[in-house]
Chains A and B, each alone.
Chain A
Amino acid sequence: MAELVLDCITKRYGGTAVVDALSLSLPSGKLLTLLGPSGCGKSTTLRIIAGLTPADSGRVHLGGRDVTALKARARNVGMVFQSLALFPHMSAADNIAFPLRVEGVSGRDRDRRVGKALDLVRMGGFARRYPDQLSGGQRQRVALARAIISNPGVLLLDEPFSALDRRLRDEMQEELRSLVGRLGITTVFVTHDQEEAIRLSDLVAVMRAGRIEQLAGPRVVYNAPRTPFVADFMGSVNFVEAEIANLAGDQVTVRLGQSAFAVPRPTDLDGAPDLGVLINVRPERVTLADTPPAAGPALAGTVTNRVFDGAFVTYTVRLSERPERSWIIRRLSSEGPATASDAVWLTWPADATQVMVSHANRSSNSR
């Protein structure tokens, strides 16, 4: 059952649609990440779910109920803010108890639940500390405990870990993952960090300019980005233009220069033959060779740079057909020098090819 449903939400600020006809549906107990560059409307979307910002149009459903007209205070959501927003004049325990006080949960019951929540975030010994007496990670835990204490329908987190150093961030991600999993809370997590999104999520929604560009599991988003933007955002670098030679069943034949090869058809790709597409290959899937392969995808190029960094050698190769494009290829350094000369052939398994409709052909993404 879908716990959270957004139905065609639009929000404009001064004429620009910051959230643009956005729809999504999140099953109960799942963790969804809104991933996208700064300013793409992630926070605004989250605030619309919480009821802190009214949407111009569209509906919000929580737990099967239309809450669009409901005020934020009545929506029973938990939220961790980017600044954490702990009450500086209250101890950790009082911070966590606040939602219960509001609910009118009385003394003993409240103390018991606060104690449990403190233990849950491993803060049992810090109940009486004030926020300014806690470390960054401890403050995170208190904010998290405060957000979940009243069993919210959804938990919303707005880049909560962006201010933490790397090690602490990894630790907190792990903890959030396990906590949310144990409690089975439906969660929406906002971040601009693709690595964080992939590690945490059941589902990733890659956002761009107020729209969802792709909504899928983290593996799919990483390995089969639907658009060049998503691929780019997931850290892809090796793009080249190609054409669709043939569409048949669940296979498509891609023509790239002299070579043609079949790959699995992406779910949303349809259109006429000769459609221009963009293909992408992950750096670790490409091999370098001195001679063109007998079959399969291949591109000719010139090595312009080699960087040895321990386990890997990273090559930069300028494509002969399209000198404006360079590919990055990463090989294990133990494999030895890949080529004798600077003139090389790039090859890869046909199934490593990610096929995306290029911008020029996507009506929905006309800039």
Chain B
Amino acid sequence: MPVRVSFLLLPAFAVLLLLLALPLLILLASSVDSSRQPGPLAFDFTLRHYGEVFYDSYYLEMLARTVKLSAIVTALCLVVGYVLAVALWIAGPRQRVYLMLIVVAPLLVSVVARTYGWMLILGERGLINTSLLSLGLIETPLRMLFTDGAIVLGLVHLLTAFAVLSIHASLEKIDWEIVEAAVVAGAGPLRIFAAILLPLSLPGLAVGATLVFSLAMSAYITPALMGGNLSAMATLIYQKFMVSFDWNGGAVLAVVLLLAALIGVLFIVMVAMAFGRPRTPREGAA
């Protein structure tokens, strides 16, 4: 039986190995291989490409900027996601279906359509500006697109769904009677949130934060379209590969970005564990 079962796993593992694991290895190797990419690997270790890329502090600044934007996006997604996850949790069955559709809607349309929608609203000749102008509230159009705020807005809009779904998965495990027990004990909404819901949904918050953070770090189309010249690390990687055809440099930046995302994820997990239930219980009464 197990023999046959592993036989069934063969296609999936072949796909994962050939199309994901091996390519990732090649990406990693290209960043430390002396060969010029694209081309066959020379299997000769060098850190030269890293030196070339980080000779200039520009990319490090860009990395710092990307980390900062991703952190802001993550924080906002968690706040927005928490509100919507709670709404989803307390909604009746009918309402929940609509809410779920609304939450995942941004994930279901292509990034181009979604960003175009924001352009229609925020652009120099977008709905907000034309309305404000015609009402005489402003004289020159507000600059909303091509700002850091626009990048954050676009990413939060896209990635909130991941936070909502993760947090909701945690909330769903909380027995409603626990909330009622707190209510009967006299607790108000804020205390219920802080003392009951927040600690119990910490795993969901952590999962949501890691997903949102790593996806925000590697998002490149939304920043490119909504940020204009202001951009993010991932956008630079795209340019390295597809515009300046510097594949070695691109591979270096991609590896650095992946490492930074990994460090961020580890950081989130550590924070979550520090706030989680202490291993040695706190001193109680008695």
Q: Which of A27-35, A68-76, A177-185, A193-201 touches B?
A: A68-76
Residues 180-210 of chain B: 1 if any A CB is under 8 Å from the residue's CB, otherwise 0?
1111111110010001100110000000000
Contact status A87-B187, CB under 8 Å: no
Contact status A79-B285, CB under 8 Å: no
Does B277 reach chain A (CB closer than 8 Å)? Answer: yes
Q: Chain A contacts of B284 at CB under 8 A?
A: 91-94, 97, 114, 127-128
Does B139 reach chain A (CB closer than 8 Å)? Answer: no
Contact status A73-B188, CB under 8 Å: yes
Q: Chain B contacts of A50 at CB under 8 A?
A: 184
Cα of A81 to Cα of B177 in the assembled complex, Å: 7
Contact status A81-B180, CB under 8 Å: yes
Chain B residues near A (Cβ < 8 Å): 175, 177-178, 180-188, 191, 195-196, 199-200, 277, 281-286
Cα of A96 to Cα of B182 in the assembled complex, Å: 11
Q: Chain A contacts of B181 at CB under 8 A?
A: 79, 81, 85-87, 146
Cα of A140 to Cα of B200 in the assembled complex, Å: 21
Cα of A101 to Cα of B286 in the assembled complex, Å: 16
Cα of A76 to Cα of B182 in the assembled complex, Å: 12
Given contacts A78-B184, A129-B281, 13 further A-B contacts (CB under 8 A): A52-B183, A73-B186, A79-B184, A82-B177, A85-B180, A89-B199, A97-B284, A110-B285, A111-B286, A119-B286, A127-B284, A127-B286, A130-B281
In the complex, how many angstroms separate the beta carbon of B179 from the nearest chain A beta carbon? 8
Contact status A98-B281, CB under 8 Å: no
In the complex, how many angstroms separate the beta carbon of A125 from the nearest chain B beta carbon? 8
A-B contact pairs, 19 of them (CB 8 A): A73-B183, A73-B188, A76-B186, A77-B184, A79-B184, A85-B177, A91-B284, A97-B284, A98-B187, A101-B195, A102-B186, A102-B191, A110-B285, A115-B286, A118-B285, A127-B285, A129-B281, A146-B181, A146-B185
Residues 24-62 of chain A: 1 if any B CB is under 8 Å from the residue's CB, otherwise 0?
000000000000000000000000001010000000000
Contact status B184-A72, CB under 8 Å: yes
Report the nearest B residue to A133, measured CB to CB.
B281
Q: Chain A contacts of B282 at CB under 8 A?
A: 91, 94, 128
In the complex, how many angstroms separate the beta carbon of A177 from the nearest chain B beta carbon? 23
Q: Chain A contacts of B180 at CB under 8 A?
A: 52, 72, 79, 81, 85
Would A74 and B186 be within 8 Å (CB), given that A91-B282, A128-B281, A130-B277 are in contact? yes
Chain A residues near B (Cβ < 8 Å): 50, 52, 72-79, 81-83, 85-89, 91-94, 96-99, 101-103, 110-112, 114-115, 118-119, 124, 127-130, 146, 150
Cα of A73 to Cα of B281 in the assembled complex, Å: 28
Cα of A265 to Cα of B286 in the assembled complex, Å: 57
Cα of A347 to Cα of B285 in the assembled complex, Å: 63
Report the nearest B residue to A99, measured CB to CB.
B185
Contact status A98-B286, CB under 8 Å: no
Q: Chain A contacts of B281 at CB under 8 A?
A: 91, 128-130
Most interface-central of B177, B188, B200, B283 (chain A CB within 10 A) = B177
What 6 A-B pairs come out closest when comparing CB atoms? A93-B284, A114-B285, A127-B286, A85-B181, A85-B177, A111-B285
Cα of A75 to Cα of B282 in the assembled complex, Å: 31
